[in-house]
Amino acid sequence: MVKQAQINRATQASLWQQLKPDSGFTIAIWLSVLVHLIVLSIKFQPELKKFKDSLPTLEVMLVNSKTKDAPVKADVLAQANLDRGGNTDANRKMKTALPTPNQKVQEVQLEQTAITRSAAQSAKLKAEEAREQKRIEALEKQAQELMTQVKSLQKVPSNPTQNAAAADPDQGQQNTKLKTPLDTQDLIAAAKEIDRLEALIAKEQDEYQKRPKRKFIGARTAEYRFAMYVEAWRQKVERIGNLNYPEAARDQKLYGQLQMTVSIRADGSIESIKIDRSSGKKVLDDAAKRIVQLSAPFSEFPKDIKKDTDILTITRTWTFTQEDALSTE
């Protein structure tokens, strides 16, 4: 027993001696712990993005019925077995008529943008009509003032000396030689002034008659007669535009919106084409102008429009979509 106790004490003393801070064994242990910590802290993780891009997508169709037996050869994957169904032998898949959430949000945003732009267009067209009406009223007022001046000059007596002689024969005889030259000069001047004013009135009336009667049409048209004509115009430019969609826009994946005003004469010919708001892409702006020129001439104005309109000005927003299609609104 004494020997065993001595051996145990000797062993403990040897261990404590090995575990001293300056002993080689202690240093080796700490180095081992440090190396293990470093190794455990390193993470080897491959870049998954490359694999994500290369992984094929899995299309699963949701069916509204199921059968007990699975089909021998499935056309698509679904959440349940379906070995029959449908009312046609053609290989068709049911599609929902509802748009995707992203598409619905885009449509709402486009609709709100169109409403805002339509209100701005209507305000602009109303302002142009108001300015045109003011010019017409000013011209009519000027013509009335000129007519008033002419009438006042026409009231000048043709022979003032005769009127004076009738009132006082003696006095009239004495003043005839003195006043006749002066009255003649006044009459000549008055006649010239009348001729000048009449010529000015004729010129103003001629310019007024020559001024074409314009009608400005925005995105929203209240009158039925204009709405029918503008709708037919829209359908034609969209049909011609989609048949002659710009190849440069398709190749370069260009799409966007622009606002353009087209003025049409009563015979259906184009008076002018003006880009009010550019799309920012010259290819699309030039394509819109070219489509209008290809679509001309348009239909002649019907009688109910022609009676009070010489030129119809149509302002529309043109959209070149990502599906390589043209629409106007």
Q: What pTM does this model have?
A: 0.43
- Residue at 136 is within a domain: yes
Element housing 165 (H / E): helix 160-167
How far apart, in whole angstroms, are the C-alpha atoms of residue 84 and residue 82? 6
CA dihedral 218, 223, 225, 229 (to 10 degrees): 20
Q: Which residues contact 187 (CB under 8 A, 6 or more apart)?
A: 156, 158
Q: What is the pLDDT of residue 131?
A: 76
Q: What is the pLDDT of residue 37?
A: 82
- 206 and 227 part of one domain: no
- Residue at 257 is within a domain: yes
- Residue at 311 is within a domain: yes
Q: What is the pLDDT of residue 31?
A: 79
The domain that holds 320 is classified in CATH as 3.30.1150
Q: What is the pLDDT of residue 216?
A: 84
User: Domain range for residue 182?
Assistant: 132-210
Question: Tokens for 303?
Answer: 């009688």
How far apart, in whole angstroms, are the C-alpha atoms of residue 325 and residue 255? 9
Segment 279-317, tens digit of pLDDT: 999 999 999 999 999 999 999 999 998 888 889 999 999
Q: What is the pLDDT of residue 224?
A: 74
Q: What is the pLDDT of residue 308?
A: 86
Boundary residue ending a domain (153, 179, 210): 210
The number of folded domains in the chain is: 2
- Residue at 94 is within a domain: no
Q: Are 255 and 322 in contact (CB under 8 A)?
A: yes
Q: What is the pLDDT of residue 179?
A: 45
Question: Tokens for 262?
Answer: 């087209």
Q: What is the pLDDT of residue 296?
A: 92
Neighbours of 242 (CB within 10 A): 13
Q: What is the pLDDT of residue 46?
A: 60
- 199 and 301 part of one domain: no
C-alpha distances out from residue 67 to 59, 71, 246, Å:
20, 9, 51
Is omega for the bond preceding 297 within 30 degrees of 0, making it cis? yes
Low-confidence stretches of the chain (pLDDT < 50) are: 88, 97-98, 158, 160-167, 172-182
- Residue at 41 is within a domain: no
